[in-house]
Amino acid sequence: MGRGMAVAAGAALVLAFGVTAGAQDAAKIEKGKQVYEAAAPKCKVCHAIAGAGNSKGSLDGVGSKLKADEIKAWMRTPKEMTDKAKATRKPTMPVYPKEKMSDDDLEALTAYMVSLK
């Protein structure tokens, strides 16, 4: 295979992977949106996205403010995150252990939150 063919094959591979990864990301983000909508207690009681829900806890732009690991920590260990952030808002964030939210759902929800830039 000539150098030009190798470069073209490599570019096609990168393009194909990028499209696949993008589609996977979009599917994960959509699933995360569904997890947000279905969570119990309802996220919208305390939070809002694009004006839907409690405006005192807007999540618009959260993806620019928090890293994925921090978002996950807010879900699994909210008391520790409340202390770390010196958050005073009441009621406090409920805990979402694996029994309430699977790791797969947490990953999807995190992808959705990170997408909110």
Query: Tens digits of per-residue pLDDT, 79-108?
Result: 999 999 999 989 999 999 999 999 999 999
Indicate whether 5 belongs to any domain.
no
Number of domains in the chain: 1
Indicate whether 19 belongs to any domain.
no
CA pair distance 39, 42, nearest whole angstrom? 5
Here the CATH number for the domain that contains residue 93 is 2.60.40.420
Full residue range of the structural domain in which residue 79 is found? 30-115
Whether 100 contacts 21, CB under 8 Å: no
Indicate whether 72 belongs to any domain.
yes
Please tell me the pTM assigned to this model: 0.79
Query: Tens digits of per-residue pLDDT, 23-47?
Result: 779 999 999 999 999 998 899 999 9
Whether 10 contacts 83, CB under 8 Å: no
Indicate whether 13 belongs to any domain.
no
CA-to-CA dists, residue 63 to 45, 59, 96, 117, angstroms: 20, 8, 20, 5
CA pair distance 117, 110, nearest whole angstrom? 13
